Every structure is written in C-alpha cells, then in structure tokens.
Amino acid sequence: MKKTNETFPAAEAILDGSRFIRACLRRPVDRPPVWFLRQAGRYMQEYRDVRKHHTLVEICKQPELAAEVTITAAEKLGVDAAIIFADLLLPLEPMGLDFEFQAGEGPVVHHPVRSAEDVRKLRTDRAEDLGYVARAIQKVAAHFKDRLGIIGFCGAPYTLASYMIEGGGSRNYIHTKQMMYRDTAAWRALLDKIVIVLTEYCRQQVQGGADVIQIFDSWVGSLSLADYRDYAFEATKRLVRAVQEMGVPVIYFGVETAGLLADMASTGADVIGLDWRQPLDEGWRAVGHSHAVQGNLDPITLFAPLEILELRVKDILRAAGGRPGHIFNLGHGIVPGTPVENVQAVARMVREFRTEAAHG
Ligand code: CP3
C-alpha cells in the first residue's frame, strides 16, 4: 500500500479493520484504533470457562477453540483488531523442546538449551506442525472479514532464545548472556535457527489471513544498548524484513526499552510498541516520526477509578497529538483480576475520541 499524507475525508466511512491497518502505515484515520495486549485471558470469565475444560496448549492447538476465544474477547471489548489466541512458546515444540505451563509458575522448558551441541540438535524443518495457528486465523478472518484487523504474532529471536536457554522466565538472564558472550557462534546459530522457523510460522499466519504481524520482544529490556546492537539486532531485523516481504506491516514490541527505541526502529518495523514508563510523545520522538507507535497505558491503571483511568487515557491521546500512526494499547499485557468493564470503558473512550479534538 502506498504511504501518503492525504487528509482523511470526513465523509468516507472507515471500516474498523482498515482503520487499524491504516494507522500501522501512518495513514490518516478518523480516530486512533484500539486493541489490548493479552485481550483474551484469565481476567475474562468467558476465557476462564473454556480453561475449565482445556489446558492453554489444548486451546491453542484446536483452531475452533482458539478462534472462539479470540473472537469472543474482541467482540466483548469493542476493539479494532483481534490478536490470534496462541502463545509465544509454541514454536519450541517443533524445534524439539518440550515445555509445559505450570500453574502459578509460568512456562517451564524441560531440557533447556545450554551448549553448542544443544543448539545443533534443534530442528528447523517442522514449522508446518504449527499450522493449527494459521487454521485458527482462517476461522477468525472468515468471521470478521474486513470488520477488524487480524494480528498474527511470534516472539522475537532474543526473547524466544532466552526462554529456550533459561528454561522459563528469568530475573538476570545469566545463562542467556553467558552463551551470548562465551559461545557467540552457538548464540548466532541459535538465533539463525529461530529466524528460519519463525519466518515460516509467520508466512503460514499471513497466508491464513493475518493483516499484521506483531513480534514480541518482551524481555529485550534486559539488554544494554551495546548488547542489543551486538547480539540481537541483526537477527531481529532479518525477521522483520522477511515478514514485511510477505506484504504485511510489522509491530515490534518490547518492555523497558526507553534506551533501545531508536535502534529497535532501525529494524525497519512499521510500528514500535511502547511500554508505559515513558510519556508517549517522548517515546515517539525516540522512535522517530517516520514510524507508527502503539501504546502505552500502564495495564495496572485498569484497576483505577474511571475518572483517573480517563485522565490517563486522554493524556496518551493528547500526547499522540492527532498525528497519523498512533494505535492505542497498553504498555504491556492485561493481568488476571483486571475488571473487564474498565477495559471496555477504555475502548469506548478511545472510540469516542475524535482526532480534531486533539487540536482543540
Ligand atoms: O489475547 C491475547 O493476547 C492472548 C494470546 C497470548 C497468550 N500468550 C496466551 C496466554 C499472547 C499474545 C501471548 C504471548 C506471550 N506468551 C508472551 C508475550 C507477551 C507479553 O506479555 O510480553 C509471553 C512472554 C508469553 C509466555 C507466557 N505464556 C508466559 C510468561 C505465561 C505465564 C504467565 C501467567 O500469567 O501465567 C504464559 C501463559 C499464557 N499465555 C496465558 C495466556 C492467556 C495465561 C495462562 C493460562 O491461561 O493458563
């Protein structure tokens, strides 16, 4: 699609799905699109009901269920985009790493990758085993048609590698950084393998009907700028470019990234996801206005009274200043216990906001 700066013709009705995609490409829209990181999850009764009968991985692997969970959340919230229900760790399995989600503990990888030999054993020829995600996307796309934007996703090379090496979440990423510094050849071979599998996985999702791919680099904030440049940037950029060549925009998101934003933008991603620790306008300046941005309400603000919530939502909308290329979202995922009605209220506040109002 050609990137232009035409002003948005007020008379033209805009479909919600195209509003989201237009914003990814920094084309003018009537109001910012809105969706929420982790919009389908345990804070929602409908999801908990499905979870009573199925594990997380079962939901992901049954396209009918994954599509239902995706659709229910997007419709209930009144958002402009639906993110496919899946998990960051699914690609580990066809690469040869078993994992499970332990209640209250998060993901556990049974035999973490710790050596060059472990890296060598990882397989890159079985990405088609992940086809259930693309099949779920097809169902979501058939349901929404052009009404909503459909987001496919995957982890970024660094974040996925950190799960493979640490065997789960981590505080200090000691094993990951040890491999990075001490066996750089194995580290690079690992990222290469991850990029091969993720490229294929994203291709399936795009062919299934994803309009946009979001790359989650959730834990990239654990890297210094120098380490990001030396050990993570190149593989990430390769993945971003490969996905863009499939004809869809890329959203690249991380947390605690204030010092990394300009370099993250250099990957060429169309949209950079911002966390909440920095005002949106400052983050956008660091990213550069030649990229769109997504964010950046603190997800815990969703526990605040509506007056405070509204103040913070308006702060963000004003900071965006009506500039084309802002997608309203949180600065990280919705947490369990979040009142659903507050998430709905935020979606309403953004839907009712008109871009002109930002100048008034
Ligand atoms: O609407 C949505 O966004 C839901 C789809 C989704 C899930 N995981 C389902 C899920 C998405 C986009 C993810 C991505 C994901 N998974 C990330 C990146 C996003 C981020 O927050 O930075 C990460 C780091 C993971 C890995 C992961 N999966 C962790 C750390 C956990 C445990 C966290 C916890 O709260 O228990 C999961 C489990 C998980 N993935 C849940 C959901 C709804 C909750 C557990 C459950 O239902 O049993």
Going residue by residue through the chain (360 aa), what tens digit of pLDDT does each one get? 433 334 444 445 566 669 999 999 999 999 999 999 999 999 999 999 999 999 999 999 999 999 999 999 999 999 999 999 999 999 999 999 999 998 878 899 999 999 999 999 999 999 999 999 999 999 999 999 999 999 999 999 999 999 999 999 999 999 999 999 999 999 999 999 999 999 999 999 999 999 999 999 999 999 999 999 999 999 999 999 999 999 999 999 999 999 999 999 999 999 999 999 999 999 999 999 999 999 999 999 999 999 999 999 999 999 999 999 999 999 999 999 999 999 999 999 999 998 654 443
The protein residue whose alpha carbon is closest to atom 34 in ligand 1 is: 106
d(CA 353, ligand 1 centre) in Å = 30
The protein residue whose alpha carbon is closest to atom 39 in ligand 1 is: 87
The protein residue whose alpha carbon is closest to atom 45 in ligand 1 is: 56
Instruction: Tell me the best of 87, 274, 330 to mutate to test the pocket of ligand 1, counting ligand atoms within 8 Å of each CB and taking the most.
Output: 87
- Cβ 51 under 6 angstroms from ligand 1: yes
The protein residue whose alpha carbon is closest to atom 21 in ligand 1 is: 333
Instruction: Tell me the best of 88, 158, 216, 220 to mutate to test the pocket of ligand 1, counting ligand atoms within 8 Å of each CB and taking the most.
Output: 88
What is the structure's pLDDT at 17?
Answer: 67
Contacts of 280 (CB under 8 A, 6+ apart): 274, 293, 295, 296, 316, 319, 320, 326
Instruction: Tell me the best of 38, 50, 153 to mutate to test the pocket of ligand 1, counting ligand atoms within 8 Å of each CB and taking the most.
Output: 38
- Cβ 151 under 6 angstroms from ligand 1: no
- Cβ 340 under 6 angstroms from ligand 1: no
| 319 close to 274: Cβ distance less than 8 angstroms | no
- Cβ 106 under 6 angstroms from ligand 1: yes
d(CA 205, ligand 1 centre) in Å = 18
What is the structure's pLDDT at 5?
Answer: 38
d(CA 222, ligand 1 centre) in Å = 19
Burial string for 94-120 (b: 16+ CB within 10 Å, else e) reads bbebebeeeeeeebbbeebbbeeebbe
For helices 306-320 and 280-287, the axis angle rounded to 10 degrees is 30
The protein residue whose alpha carbon is closest to atom 23 in ligand 1 is: 88
Q: Which atom of ligand 1 is nearest to the CA of 335?
A: 35
The protein residue whose alpha carbon is closest to atom 11 in ligand 1 is: 87
